[in-house]
Amino acid sequence: MEDRSGSTGGERGLVLVVEDEHAIADLERLYLARAGYGVHVECDGGAALARVRQLRPVAIVLDVGLPGLDGIDVCRRLREAGDWTPVIFVTARDDEVDRVLGLELGADDYLTKPFSPRELVARVKGLLRRAAGPQPPRVLAVGAVLLDLDRRTAQADGQPVPLTAMEFDLLAYLMSEPGRVFSRGQLLSAVWGQADYGGGRTVDVHVAQLRAKLGAASPLRTARGVGYSASDEPDRGRP
């Protein structure tokens, strides 16, 4: 049987997930691990308090409706003990009173079920950025194309280029490792979070849209029969 409480390693630090619904906990673990975080799962509030002291996580994703010691009590005890580890409350109740109470207790953010696991990852990243204080802008550059990852803006030859969220994510993923060729399956998994059931046609369509928007400045290159890369080298792989 799988050990649902086991930790997984990650270079961004460890996130403690406290959730008694196994399906939700597994989904949170999967997406946080994909984003580079270590993950440890607990389904009990008392055990979670012990793990915070033992593991010193960088953030806690805390279900409010836990059996026994609920998430509100867990957060209260952490703050009373002087532990200000960033906390994101997760709850099935979309109730303003609960939300205000949670934030007054020292929770840093709040998500109501059902929620997108990608939104959870974005909230964790944002929470940790704020906790770390002001950071220098994160910019990717390949050739004449610049991406501001924090503002999610793109420029080509010094001119702004409007991109959809998925176009931006795909371009950023390719530009994060210039010259590396990614297969369509790798891109589908990393950007769309899905397996390659459709032959990668989705990737081809988005690459074509990006090339049309970026024009001559496009850094997208085709590795025929393999996939795509971002490079300032000439694109010799296109038919």
Residue 117, domain CATH: 3.40.50.2300
Number of domain units in the chain: 2
pLDDT band at 4 (very low <50, low <70, confident <90, very high): very low
pLDDT of residue 2: 36
Phi, psi of 169 (to 5 degrees): -60, -40
The answer on 109 and 180 residing in a single domain is: no
- Is residue 4, in this structure, part of any structural domain at all? no
pLDDT band at 97 (very low <50, low <70, confident <90, very high): very low
Instruction: Please compute the mean of the pLDDT values over residues 103-122 and round it to a whole number.
Output: 83
Domain that holds residue 37: 14-132
The answer on 121 and 51 residing in a single domain is: yes
- Is residue 38, in this structure, part of any structural domain at all? yes
pLDDT of residue 68: 84
Phi, psi of 2 (to 5 degrees): -70, 140
The answer on 207 and 185 residing in a single domain is: yes
Q: How many helices (H) and strands (E) does the chain have?
A: 8, 12
CB–CB of 45/19 below 8 Å?
no
pLDDT beyond 80 at 222: yes
Phi, psi of 163 (to 5 degrees): -125, 145
- For 118-170, how does the pLDDT look when each residue is reduced to its tens digit (9 = 90+)? 899 998 988 887 776 655 668 999 999 999 988 899 999 999 999 998 899 99
The answer on 121 and 61 residing in a single domain is: yes
pLDDT over 90, % of the chain = 51
Q: Minimum mean pLDDT among 47-56, 97-106, 119-128, 226-235: which range?
A: 97-106
16/72: higher pLDDT:
16
Q: How far apart are CA 7 and CA 14, in angstroms?
A: 8
Task: State which of 98, 117, 132 marks the end of a domain.
Answer: 132
Q: How far apart are CA 223 and CA 237, in angstroms?
A: 5
The answer on 120 and 19 residing in a single domain is: yes
| Averaged pLDDT score across all residues of the chain | 85
The answer on 75 and 18 residing in a single domain is: yes
- Is residue 237, in this structure, part of any structural domain at all? no
- For 24-37, how does the pLDDT look when each residue is reduced to its tens digit (9 = 90+)? 999 999 999 999 99
pTM over 0.75: no
pLDDT of residue 181: 95
Residue 209, domain CATH: 1.10.10.10
pLDDT of residue 120: 92
